[in-house]
Structure formats: C-alpha cells, structure tokens
Chains A and B, each alone.
Chain A
Amino acid sequence: MGSRNLLVALAGQPNCGKSTVFNLLTGARQHVANYPGVTVEKKTGAYADEGRRVELVDLPGTYSLTSYSLEERVARDFLLGDNPDVVIDVADASNLKRNLYLLVQLLEMEAPVILNLNMMDVAERRGQTIDIAGLREILGVPVVPTKAKKGEGREALREAIRSLADAPSHEHAFRIDYGPMERYIAELEEKLCEDPVLSIRYPVRWVAIKLLENDEGAAELLAASHPEADLVMTLAESCRERFREEAGNAAERHIAFTRHGLCARMAGRTVTIPTDNRRSLSDLADRYVCNRFLGPVILVAILMVLYQVAIVFGNWLALQVWPLWGALENFAADVLPAAGFIDDPLLRALGLWVVKSTTAILNYLPIFLLLFALIAVLEDSGYMPRMAFILDRLFRRFGLHGQSTLPMILGGVYVGGCAIPGVMATKAIPDERARLATIMIVPMMNCLAKVPLYLILIGAYFADTGGFAMFFIATVTLFMALPVAKLLTLTVLRKQPSAPFIMEMPPYHLPTVTGVMRRAFERVWLFLKKIVTVVAAVAVVVFVLINYPGLTENRRAHYQAMQDKSLDAFMSAVDKTGYQGRISRDDVLSIILFNESLKRAKQGVTDQTESNVINARFEADNPVYYAVVKRVGKDGKALNRALKKVDRVRKKVRREARAERFETSFLGIMGRALEPVTQWAGFNWRINIALLSAFAAKENSAATLGSIYGIDGGQSVQESMKAGEAGFTALHALALMLFMALYPPCVPTSIMVRHQSNSTKWMLFSIVYQTLLGLFVASLVFTGGKILGLSGFQTMWAFYGLCVAATLVMALIPTPEETEVAPLINASCKEHCS
C-alpha cells in the first residue's frame, strides 16, 4: 500500500483553528478554487510523507452535516462522493462539547475519522484537562491533541494519518442509541438493504437516520440510487408520522437532542473543568450579549458603529482616494485619439465611457474594503450568529432569517448601502428559502446610487417638508420589503427547502489583524474581478443603446454650420493680429485641446512654482498655442477672448448634439414606446429614458435627467425640471421616487443575484417582479392619489400607513412549516436569551 497517494479531508466547525491546522500540515502551500457549480471555496494543499503524496482538502467549516446550507451540502457531498482515505475532524479542545456534535455525525457516516483536539493551549489556559485515552476508548477513533497556533503536533497528526490509512479496515464500534427511534431506524434499514447498490455505496444506518430526519439531500440520494425510491420515501414518511405520535416529538428534533445529549455526556466524562471557573468567558459574555433587553441595545450600537465606519468614514476615504481614479481618467483621455470639435472618434468616445463607468464603481472601493473588513471582524469574533439569533424571531415572521440582517444593512436598510455586497453577504444564510427571499428584497433597499434622484425630486417638489419626505423614502422601503418577502415565501418560494434555526454559538475569539485584512482583501479582489469586468462589458452595450442610430444628416449639417460660423469669427480675429498666417483654421481645435490638457496637467496643483514648471513645459511645446491660451501679449489677449467664444460654442454644440443623440437613440425609442404603460404611474417618455438608463447603473438616473432637461445656465436641475414639465406635480414625483426605490436591481447587482442564486431564472425573476411591483406601486400611488384628490404629501403618508398595515398583517400570517418545526436553540443560549 506504501506507494499510493492519500486523500485527506479536513472537517471542523467554524472558529476551531482549521486553517491553522491546514497550514501546519501543508506548510501553507495551498490552492484555492471553488467547488464545482457552487460559490463555496475549496482549499487544497499537499505534502510528501515517506514517499507518498498526501493531498489535503479543507472542507467548509460547518456545525453539522445536514443539507440545510450550501457549505454543509458541499462538505457532505465530498465525504460521500470522493471517499477520502482519512477525515480529520478538527475540534476546539476548549469547547469539546460543541465540537463533538460534528464528530458524531462523521462517525455515523462511517467515515475514517481522526479526532484532532486543537487549541489545547487554550484549554490548558482555562485550566481544563481532557482525558484523551478515555475519549479514544469511548469513540473508538484515534485522538490527536495539537496546538497548531504554536506549531505543535504536526508529526503526531501525520503519524496518525499514516497509520489510519494503512490500517486494514475501519471497525466502527461507535453507535448512537436513539432509544425509542431505534425501532423505526431498523424498519427503514431493512427496506434499504433490499437494494444492493445503495447498501454498498452508502452506510445504510446513516441513510435511514437521514430519511427520518427528513433530510433533503438523503431523499435525492435515494431517488438517484434506489429503484423503489418512492416506496422507501412513503415508508420513511410513515415512520416519521408514527414516531411523532408515539414520542410526541418531531423526528428531527429527537435526533438533534439525542446527539446533543450524547455530546454533553461524553464531554462531561472526559473533560475536567476547574470548579470555580465552570462557565467559560464566552458563556458569561453571552449572558449580556444575548440578553433579552441588553442584546438588542448592543446590536444597535454595533450596527451603528458599522454604519459610521463603513459608510460615513468610507465616504470620506473614497473622496481622498478619488485623485487616483481621476488620474486614471485623465490618463485615458491623454492616450486615446484626440477629441473632435463636435463628435469624438469612436475609439475615444467608447474608451472614455468604459473608463468612466469603471471608475464610478472603483470609487466605492474604500467603502467595500472597510465593509468587508468589518464583516470579517464580526464573523471571526463569533458575534454574527448571536446577531442572527437576536433578530431571527422578528425576521422569521416574514420568511427571512436572522442572518438576513447583514445583507439588508449592506443594501441600505436606512439610506446608503449598495446591493452588490448585500447580495454577496446572503451567502452565509443557511436556510435556502430565506436566502432566496433575502436576495430578492436586498435590491429594494435604498442604495447610495438611488439617493441623488431622491434629492433632486425632494428638492423640487417637497422643498418645505424635505426632512419628512426623506424619512418617508428612507423607511418606507423596509415596510415594502418585509411584506414582499413574506408574499414571496408564501408563493414562489414555497417549495424551496427551509431549515429550522439550529445554530451553535461558537466561543468568542479575538480576531487577528492579518486574518481580517486577508479576508477583506480577498473579497475585494473577488468583487473587483467579478464586477469590474461585467461593468466594462455592460458599458459597451449601454454605449451603443444610447448613442445609436445617431444624428440625422440634417441635424448634423445644422451643428456643422454652427461650428463653421464660430471658426469664421475666430479666423477673422486672427487676421487682425500678428498671428495672421501662423494660425490656420485647423489649429483652432488643437488650441482648445491644448488648453484642456494644460488644465488637466495642473489639476490639483496648489503651488505656483510647480505650476510655472508645467506652464514652461507647455510653452516650450507650442509657443503660439501657449500665447493664445495664456494671454501672452496684446494679440494673445485678443485671441484668448475669441477663443473663449469658440470654446463656448463647441461646448454648446456638443451638449445639444449629445442630448439629441440620446433622445433619438434606441433607448429613447424604447422610452417613448413605453409611455402608454407608464402614463398610469405619471411617467412620460423623458422619465422613462432616465429610468431605462438607470438599469445599467443607478447613478445614471440623475445624470440622465439632468442631460435630458437641457439645463439652462443659472437654473438648477430641480428648477429646470419644474419649468420643463408644467404638468408635473408632487404626486408625479412621489410615484417616481417609489418606482426608483422598487426599481429592478442594476446590472452589476443582477449579475450578483445570478451568481448567488446560481440560476439565471431567479435573476430574470428578480428583474421582472421588481419592475412590475414598481410599476404597480407607482400607478397605485399616482392614479389612486389623483382619484382621491390627495396632494403628494397626503398620498405619501396614506401610502406609508398602507405599507405599515401590510407589514403587520403579514407578520400575523404563519410562515409555512413554522407551525411544524419550532426553532431549535442550543441549550447554552436558550438559558440566557429565550
């Protein structure tokens, strides 16, 4: 057997020091990829051991091996499908009771397990002693203590792997006694054994228990490998039913409690805890953190710090970093082909558009980095599950999960988030149905990019009551999202698998700086790779949609005439100066561009001597142009005046041509085509265009409205919008704001939705349902308000009342299965939190 390679899987609960053990064994040489088809990270590494290559696979950290979460499913599929030679269960020795829960499940799967008692140093520091020989005897598996953080135990662990792999067969002495359930397990086992395929491929007792647990994954497994799967399923269902009647308890609850009880007994027999220090520091902290009254206060305080640091400080930081992205834009402007008088070469126009679209996203990078770092702190410290626990009761009423909190905060539960990291963060939710529901409502939160439009509309139509209007739009979204989440749960998501809230509270940990930073940078990098490339691709599509088919010959000639006239005027000014003959008609555009690049070069320069150096460089480059631009001499002054006029004309022509191109573009045509539908919501074609362009990125809406309303000097966007739309009332504005709030996720978010739900169908669904919902709400508010003769402000609060009422009603409707499976809370938290 000596020459064959070994496959070793590393399992363990989160926060047990699994990564440290991985590094201890492999020397930190690792390869990170995703498990096929899912977004769970797969870390592999290898080491040589007495001429053999030992390949180590780091399974996702899980508390349990049900199929409730993606991580658990991935871990289990690997154990069943890849048949590792050895499975190391890394356990936190200082919390053996909790960590044994995973071990007993591994043993039930009849996996060749080594129990690695890691973090022995922490256990020793707490004065705990563990009877390792006793544990080995009870479990019947090798037990290896390590202190991976201090680099102790590598040889012992490698030795254990070697001998277990070389052992002739793995006899499993360990078996959980499920008491009154054993009868049903045996009944199912008997049925399962009738089929030779299944009984060879999988441990029969384990399959039977899983079926009694009503485990989704086991049912799939059965369907795939057993010829009479339906029959077995019916039998399992009947066993569950009979057990329930006999024991008065659901089978899955009985199983979980039996396991927990067993773990507690085993730990009680082998772990000696000093009498005066019975309750560990973590449990002591939980008394306050999970407390009925103090818990929510601490939660709010932590969330406020999160918001302040990530969003408020992050914004300030984003502004400090901006010059970097600005420089990138300037660089692109310099290297791309030079601009024209009216139109730019395609390569320049497209290139600048793509760069601009990308920098608009890159601007958020500091915020993301801070957010990801803070999330890593919350995760590593162990607070995240506590937060989920505190909010789970409330959220469960709406079909969501305790862990939906973070995605919603990131998405902007009040004001100021971004749906992209929000949807990303749903990954942690173990309940598939709640996870999808969260993915569907996160884009309804108030992301930062929706804010400029709110500001414009509030400034224009709710100027006197601006504070109230802002509060309205900031909070009404939550009251729309919660009932919608419940509705989705009751309808389209009904069939999705749901999970009872079983969550072990891991002990608190002090997060390490390097750990947090590494995680934050990894996630930022992932985000960059995924989003920026997508944004660039989408930018090209949008560019085509808003620029083509382009101006008609007629209009082009009109703008050409304007250009010619201004050039004529400039040339006649040249003829009156000493530059006659030295500046030709073709030079005019070059002079304008010369001026622009001089300005760009001096952007951010605050020192006169530094500025002089730049000036001198440009003067040496082209003294004639320089004279005109910098008003050198009498002729220079005269020509500078003329140049300013040409420049003004150029800007005007470009602005108007752009707006015209936009209005007659494909997007413009769509906007007009939609008018018959959107008129009920009070949207005309101009607003339709703005909304359509906002799909590419929400930021576009305000900019587009600005450019469509052909702003005249001295007027703000608000004023010109008011002037431009005589019939536009506060009611229109309200409908528009609500539509924007419910508006389908922008393209990058949609891509993220596709990625996290792992289905194009769900992505399309999220786009379509939000569009229809937005249109419905906007029409309801606009048409309803009009029929009832209410003002915009009155309608606003009538609608608010409606949403709050809907939320309350929805909270009272039971979530499917909620009545069946009461949330299971582990004993330690139950004591303090209930």
Chain B
Amino acid sequence: MKKLMIVLTLAAMTAFAGQAFAHSPLMSCFDNGDGTVTCEGGFSDGSSAAGVSIHVTDGDGKSVLETKMNEDSECTFDKPEAAYSVMFDAGEGHQVKIDGADIVE
C-alpha cells in the first residue's frame, strides 16, 4: 500500500499546482462613443458568459463598479473619467483583464 500512498501524494501535490481549464474565457470591449462602454464575453467553447462577474477598477486598483454579464453575455457601463480597467471574472484561472486605454471608439 506504500505505492498507493505515493499516488495519493501525487494527487495532493497536483492539487496545489493550481487548476486550469482549457475552456478559455474571452472578452472584447467597445467604447460606444456616448460615454458608455460595452463589453461582450464568452468562452472559447461557445459557452454563455451570462452571470459572470465584471469588476471595473480605477488606476489604483480601487473598485469603481461591480456588475455582471446579462443574459446576452453583455454588459454596458458608464465610462469612468480617469484611467480604468475591466476584469471578466469567471473564477480562478478564468479571468480576462482589459486596460481602459485599449478600449477604443
């Protein structure tokens, strides 16, 4: 049973190696030109991103807005005045961050 312990140790060790999932999160954002920004999310395998958390933070990393993707995997929010970034957060290993400066009209 010593060898069984080895397998168990192996399992436990991989547990700390962090989990990774190959269904990759995707997000693209657009400046609507009317003071709002729209982000569209999804997953590489076509899964819906409805209900996924969206964090909008300012330049210092402070939270500006917490919202969620709607049923169409979209979310629209008022564009912050200063520097900002948007994070698509579907859990550990499933995050995408886009810098506000890269979101163009």
* Pairing of A with B: yes
Q: Which residues of A contact B (CB under 8 A)?
A: 296, 299-300, 303-304, 307-308, 311-312, 314-315, 318-319, 322, 325-326, 356, 359-360, 363-364, 367, 391, 393-394, 413-416, 418, 448-449, 451-452, 455, 459, 470-471, 474-475, 478, 599, 602-608, 610-611, 615, 630-631, 637, 640, 651-652, 655, 697, 699, 702-703, 706-707, 711-720, 808, 811
Inter-subunit contact A707/B22 (CB<8 Å): no
Specify which of A367, A602, A808 is in contact with B22 (CB 8 Å cutoff): A367
**A702 nearest in chain B by CB position:** B47
Chain B contacts to A: CB under 8 angstroms: 1, 3-4, 6-11, 13-15, 17-24, 26, 28, 30, 32-34, 40, 44-48, 50-52, 68, 70-72, 91, 93, 101-105
Contact A300 B9 (CB under 8 A): yes
Tell me the bound Cα distance from A315 to B45 in angstroms.
13
User: A448 contacts which of B11, B23, B26 (Cβ < 8 Å)?
Assistant: B23
In the bound assembly, the distance between CA atoms of A393 and B6 in angstroms comes to 13
Report yes or no: A359 in contact with B44, Cβ–Cβ below 8 A: yes
What chain A residues lie within 8 Å of B4 (beta carbons)? 394, 811
Q: CB-nearest residue of chain A relative to B8?
A: A475
Does the CB pair A394–B47 fall under 8 Å?
no
- Which listed residue (B10, B18, B68) contacts A312, Cβ 8 A? B18
Given B10, B71, B91, which contacts A455 in the complex, CB threshold below 8 Å? B91
Contact (Cβ within 8 A) B11 A449: no
Sorted nearest first, the 10 A-B pairs with minimum C-beta distance are: A716-B51, A606-B102, A394-B3, A699-B45, A703-B47, A360-B45, A414-B14, A611-B104, A713-B70, A315-B20
16 A-B pairs besides A363-B23, A416-B19, A714-B70 with CB distance below 8 A are A312-B20, A326-B26, A356-B46, A413-B11, A414-B14, A415-B19, A416-B22, A448-B22, A475-B8, A475-B11, A615-B105, A630-B33, A712-B71, A716-B50, A719-B51, A808-B1
A717-B50 CB under 8 A given contacts A322-B24, A448-B22, A637-B34: yes
B10 near A303: Cβ-Cβ < 8 Å? yes
Alpha-carbon distance A788/B52, docked complex (angstroms): 37
Q: Which residue of A lies closest to B105 (CB)?
A: A611
A444–B33 CA distance with the chains assembled, in angstroms:
51
Decide: A414 near B34, CB < 8 A? Known: A318-B24, A711-B50. Answer: no
- Max count, chain B CB within 10 A of own CB: residue among A474, A615, A711: A711
Say whether B21 contacts A448, CB under 8 Å: yes
- How far in angstroms is the closest Cβ of chain B from A665? 17
Instruction: Say which residue of B15, B18, B34, B51 sits within 8 Å of A474 (CB atoms).
Output: B15
With both beta carbons as reference points, the residue of chain A lying nearest to B48 in the complex is identified as A706
In the complex, 28 of the A-B residue pairs with CB atoms within 8 angstroms, ordered by the A residue number, are A296-B6, A300-B6, A307-B14, A308-B17, A318-B22, A322-B44, A363-B22, A363-B23, A363-B24, A363-B45, A364-B22, A394-B7, A414-B11, A414-B15, A415-B19, A416-B22, A448-B23, A451-B21, A475-B11, A599-B40, A602-B30, A602-B104, A608-B104, A631-B32, A640-B34, A655-B71, A715-B51, A716-B51
Q: Are A322 and B26 in contact (CB under 8 A)?
A: yes
In the assembled complex, the Cα of A790 lies from the Cα of B101 at a distance in Å of 53
Residues of A within 8 A of B51 (CB): 711, 714-720
Q: Which residues of the other chain, A, contact B71 by a CB distance below 8 angstroms?
A: 652, 655, 711-713
| A448 (CB) vs chain B CBs: closest residue | B22
Q: Are A304 and B20 closer than 8 Å at their CB atoms?
A: no
- Cβ contact of A606, chosen from B1, B11, B33, B104, cutoff 8 A: B104
Give the shortest distance, in Å, between B53 (CB) and chain A (any CB).
8
Q: Do B105 and A608 touch across chains, with their CB atoms under 8 A apart?
A: yes
> Within 8 Å CB of A471, what residues of B?
15
Q: What distance in Å separates the Cβ of A635 from its nearest Cβ neighbour in chain B?
A: 14
Instruction: Give the docked Cα–Cα distance between A598 and B24 (Å).
Output: 24
Least CB distance from A567 to B in Å reads 19
Complex CA–CA separation, A734 to B3 (angstroms):
29
Closest to A393 in B: B3
Tell me, in angstroms, the Cα distance from A322 to B96 when the chains sit together: 13
A residues within 8 A CB of B102?
A: 606
A712 to B69, CA, bound (A): 10
In the complex the two chains form, what is the Cα distance from A360 to B105 in whole Å? 30
Closest to B25 in A: A319
- Residue of A315, A449, A703 near B24 (CB, 8 A) is A315
Report which of A416, A604, A652, A702 forms a contact with B28, defined as CB distance below 8 A.
A604
Given the complex of chains A and B, what is the CA–CA distance between A312 and B28 in angstroms? 23
Does the CB pair A478–B7 fall under 8 Å? yes
Task: Please name all residues of chain B whose beta carbon is closer than 8 Å to the beta carbon of A711 when the two chains form the complex.
Answer: 48, 50-51, 71
Question: Taking the nearest CB of chain A, how far is it from the CB of B32, in angstroms?
Answer: 8
Name which residue of chain A comes closest to B49, CB basis.
A706
Instruction: State the CA gap A353–B30 with chains docked (Å).
Output: 26
> Whole-angstrom distance between the alpha carbons of A471 and B9 in the complex?
13
A607 and B104 within 8 A (CB):
yes
Q: Determine the chain B residues whose CB is within 8 A of the CB of A455 once the complex forms.
A: 91
Q: How far is the CA of A360 from the CA of B21 in the complex (A)?
A: 13
A599 adjacent to B23 (CB under 8 Å):
no
Q: Which residues of A sit under 8 angstroms from B70, Cβ to Cβ? A: 713-714
A655 to B48, CA, bound (A): 11
**Known contacts A415-B19, A606-B104, A703-B48: does B68 contact A714 (CB below 8 Å)?**
yes
In the complex formed, the residue of B with least CB distance to A606 is B102
A307 touches B17 (CB 8 A): yes
In the complex the two chains form, what is the Cα distance from A413 to B10 in whole Å? Answer: 10
CA distance A221 to B10 in the complex (A): 45
B89 to chain A, nearest CB (A): 11
Q: Which residue of B lies closest to A361 (CB)?
A: B45
Most central of B32, B44, B105 by chain A CB within 10 Å: B44
Chain A minimum-CB-distance residue to B14: A414
* Residue ID in chain A nearest B4 by CB atoms: A394
CA distance A89 to B87 in the complex (A): 62
Bound-state CA distance A319–B45 (Å) is 12
Assess whether B48 is in contact with A416, with CB atoms less than 8 Å apart: no
Nearest CB on A from B31, distance (A):
9
Report B-chain residues with C-beta under 8 Å of the C-beta of A712.
71
Residues of A within 8 A of B105 (CB): 608, 611, 615
Asked whether, in the complex, the Cβ of B7 is within 8 Å of the Cβ of A311, the reply is no
Would you call B15 and A416 a contact (CB within 8 A)?
A: no
Bound-state Cα–Cα, A96 to B44, Å:
53
Q: Are B6 and A706 in contact (CB under 8 A)?
A: no
Chain A residues, CB < 8 A from B23: 360, 363, 448-449, 451-452, 699
Give the one of A359, A452, A607 with max B CB within 10 A.
A452
- Across the two chains, which residue of chain A brings its CB closest to B70? A713
In the complex, the answer to whether A603 meets B3 with C-beta atoms within 8 Å is no
Which A-chain residue is minimally distant from B90 (CB atoms)?
Answer: A455
* A residues in contact with B46, CB < 8 Å: 356, 360, 699, 703
Measured in the bound complex, the distance between the Cα atoms of B44 and A414 in whole Å is 23
Whether A315 contacts B93 by the Cβ 8 Å rule is yes
Contact partners of B20 in chain A: CB under 8 A: 311-312, 315, 416
